[in-house]
Structure 1
């Protein structure tokens, strides 16, 4: 039997023991932490928190300065929690290797451990387990190293950084429960970026500050981000906002990335967690990406430790404010009328004819660096807001929605007996969906609604979900259909969009004439439709479908009726 070498006593990581152009394998990564936890049980607790879709274990670790690992006791003590997620895209692995070294240093260096104070360092070492085992060196087309790495898709061919709300993967289901149970104050989710060429090794996506809102947004924008940028510059890794050009090159300006809840930082915002998604630059050497990533994680951790009291207070205030009945934003858009400025270091953009096609291609000339102020569009405004209800009612039949709410710590109660409630009901009046599947769903890009008051019978066993609870923001942004990543947009209620009954045209032709006689509203709508669509009058199906869909005689009450009810 082959005996694997041990990492003890110095616990040098695979990255450190090689040529600095290697990333660990999943098996070596997990074995490293297991041996480290066995050697330092009073510093590191390493556990399995779930399974991947291919049946492999998903792990997490906890580091504290005093050896307390029980979550309930830590929460009762009000301990700050810093969370580092790694390897969601295994082809972007520098965070995986950097986290291994940082946790090792907590174990081996008492002064570093003591600097944590009361802060809990929580981490997932390698989130996309299945993708990490699909190991090669070709899937990251333009990336400089490492020599071999994992693949973005998991075993279901899903991008897990689009899955935090819909939870198609077992990974996301475990993550939702893990995250909501710990409720971290700050999260860093490590990545590598594609895109334009520029000087910086490190770029940074943060929870969009206007969307984060409450007191947390201004704190992040005015205090936390300036401190992070300053410390990163002092460490020798000057950092810029994620390079998201509004046109083809950064020269024209860059815009904050709107990280909706399908992404880790947007999901974190639903829990009032300050989230960061550092993106190292693909064209920089892997060793530089590793060093800058470790510097970024340590920088954000240092700020969290030093400012934990303020962050925790602001989160508590945000949770309280979100639970109050008021007008709330569920959809955001960039405001280009209010740009700020950023002193950016770029390279000259060059346009010249392609050698393989009849078009002009873009390249960057690193022999022509420049530094100048460019527009930075980091102000966002709410373009859709709703009046927050006192509660929602979700019928018990919508199990997939209810279980996701429960995974996120939502408090709900079952209705004890059948009753009639006076509620607000949405009807879907228009839906535009993507023409092709997106992460396993036909995502609804746009929709229009009508809301009206109605007396509706709710049944014993249906769920009443009050909004006077800490998870109010998560509830509103997933159950309001127009939210960026609502359950409706992801297709959890698609069956409501289907009319179940049909007609036989040779019989319905006479009935349609009666409907036009007896229902004036249908007659008016039909006359207008005829004026707008004269060519369709030759199409019997189009004519009869129009009348059938709008008549009251054969109405299907559940068709286009959103089943989640609002109690005001």
Structure 2
């Protein structure tokens, strides 16, 4: 870049003291100016609005000036996607992306290095939070001088919203991501947690969970190249410091990127995802520089190995259409740690002046370097044999529309049909977390009973075949036991409520008759009495058991998961 060009398009970060980040208005104006001056390099457009009605934008950079998505996809062009500002209080990616896109526009050699790869980016995803600008919302972070807020206009954390899509932003993202189908994604963040030497840490899509050839390629080829490239460029990088105990001394474990998070969501589409996390206590200038370096290192690798990544993704999609065994839950393999060379600081514990506990601090004057356990493997903790298709009653339109946003092929029944021996789940029990979680009462534990039942479907109900590339998204959202299923997020909560009730003084006689008429109910009730002697003095508990477990007043829909499996 020439000095004239550099001075002509400085970012707000570069114009200031390197401790300032661009406001939303400055960021949008910057890209609008670039797009106007470099129309053959940058295509810039609004892709939706936030819950507060603020425009959400995206940009496309190509070396040959082709921006039409359908044309690019016909040419099978690789797509690299950089998402920024999901947490606007972690704005390094916002500033780094601005400088990188500027350099694409003003440096012909840098642009040419893209080859036929498409550089796709969202400059600020959480635009509501970016406008909520302050200096104190991240109490443990050093700089910049002011920044945005984690929550959006509905006080939602957008990095927990990719599956449930409560926010308009997530709905926009689902459709945008699906339309472009990126091969590699980098979603930029800043970490909280322990203190240690390196500025950059990295959360990749967990390779075991990503699975198939993609997971092996990520672990054996891509991650070593990224860590090596960061070392060579002066920004040694560690896996994300997810401590297995209180400090890194005892080891760290891979972060389980569930589909609620960006990289876990990307995995449902067989996209390799990265979540770089700069360290909160490092100078902002270092965090921005290391973030840009990380994005460029991953981009350069993607450009060089694009054909192999694309082929592995095609194989993964084809394999998903044929897959029968589906992992639903994962757990860290604590019995097979790797060894990681780590640079940390001595953990010091001293009496707190605020309470009677020992406070933890890290002494940067006592650095250490040693091998620590690194638990980088995950095991299946639960799985399911998937049916050939799922049947979704049309009444559950919120579920159906999310499948549509993610490119799932659906078939609307044109007439009423009866399906014999359909797989139906009965919800035996659920345990929900104590308080609200991102606007929902999340179900942490689900116990199911599987039955073969006859299901009567109506014209307009939806059949979802698993013989399609989007099968993974379908299974991990519709199987109730999966980590981030629609059931766990409460989309089907109404089936957990019994709609009819009883009056004690009337139902007492009915209960006696039910016990005489239903031997299974009587046997269950006798066992219940033995197990719950403390409840026998409570008429609501006694009669409630008989009412809930008897057949006379049974409600077939109660605790019946509405989505059935078809074979």
Contact 1:8 1:35 survives alignment (8 Å): no
Counterpart position of 1:304: 302
Counterpart position of 1:170: 168
1:389 matched to 2:387? The reply is yes
- Runs of 4+ in structure 1 over 6 Å off: none
Q: Distance in 2 between matches of 1:45 and 1:141?
A: 37
Q: Distance in 1 between matches of 2:43 and 2:110?
A: 17
Counterpart position of 2:546: 547
User: 1:286-325 residue pairs with structure 2 within 5 A?
Assistant: 286-325=284-323
Change over 3 Å in CA distance of 1:294–1:8 after alignment to 2:
closer
Counterpart position of 1:378: 376
Q: Distance in 2 between matches of 1:211 and 1:260?
A: 9
**What is the SS of the residue equivalent to 1:538?**
coil
Change over 3 Å in CA distance of 1:206–1:84 after alignment to 2:
same
Instruction: Give the superposition deviation at 1:338.
Output: 0.7
Q: Distance in 2 between matches of 1:68 and 1:8?
A: 25
Counterpart position of 1:243: 241
Instruction: Give the superposition deviation at 1:460.
Output: 0.3
Q: Distance in 1 between matches of 2:147 and 2:134?
A: 6
**What is the SS of the residue equivalent to 1:175?**
helix
Q: Distance in 2 between matches of 1:243 and 1:481?
A: 31
Q: Distance in 2 between matches of 1:204 and 1:439?
A: 25
Q: Distance in 2 between matches of 1:128 and 1:326?
A: 37
Q: Distance in 2 between matches of 1:404 and 1:267?
A: 13
Residue segments in structure 1 that go unaligned for 5+ positions in a row:
1-6
Counterpart position of 2:483: 484
1:25 matched to 2:23? The reply is yes
Alignment equivalent of 1:401, drawn from 395, 399, 402: 399
Instruction: Give the superposition deviation at 1:258.
Output: 0.4
1:466 matched to 2:465? The reply is yes
Q: Distance in 1 between matches of 2:546 and 2:248?
A: 52
TM-score by length of 2: 0.98
Q: Which moved more, 1:461-470 or 1:20-29?
A: 461-470
Alignment equivalent of 1:48, drawn from 46, 49, 52: 46
Q: Deviations over 1:152-194 (max 9, x none)?
A: 0011000000000000000000000000010000000000001
Contact 1:325 1:390 survives alignment (8 Å): no
Instruction: Give the superposition deviation at 1:10.
Output: 2.1
Counterpart position of 1:4: none
Instruction: Give the superposition deviation at 1:509.
Output: 0.5
Counterpart position of 2:342: 344
Counterpart position of 2:132: 134
Q: Deviations over 1:489-542 (max 9, x none)?
A: 000000010100011111110111111111111111111111111111000000
Alignment equivalent of 1:10, drawn from 4, 8, 11: 8
Contact 1:60 1:125 survives alignment (8 Å): yes
1:155 matched to 2:146? The reply is no
**What is the SS of the residue equivalent to 1:224?**
helix
Q: CA RMSD in A?
A: 0.9
Counterpart position of 1:413: 411
Alignment equivalent of 2:71, drawn from 66, 70, 73: 73
Instruction: Give the superposition deviation at 1:346.
Output: 0.3
Counterpart position of 1:3: none
Counterpart position of 1:522: 521
Counterpart position of 1:567: 566
Instruction: Give the superposition deviation at 1:437.
Output: 0.6
Contact 1:131 1:153 survives alignment (8 Å): yes
Alignment equivalent of 1:197, drawn from 184, 195, 200: 195
User: 1:103-122 residue pairs with structure 2 within 5 A?
Assistant: 103-122=101-120
Counterpart position of 2:556: 557
Q: Distance in 1 between matches of 2:388 and 2:254?
A: 33
Instruction: Give the superposition deviation at 1:248.
Output: 0.3
Instruction: Give the superposition deviation at 1:267.
Output: 0.3
Alignment equivalent of 1:328, drawn from 302, 326, 329: 326
Counterpart position of 2:441: 442
Residue segments in structure 2 that go unaligned for 5+ positions in a row:
none
Aligned length: 562
Instruction: Give the superposition deviation at 1:8.
Output: 9.2
**What is the SS of the residue equivalent to 2:39?**
coil
Q: Distance in 1 between matches of 2:445 and 2:379?
A: 18
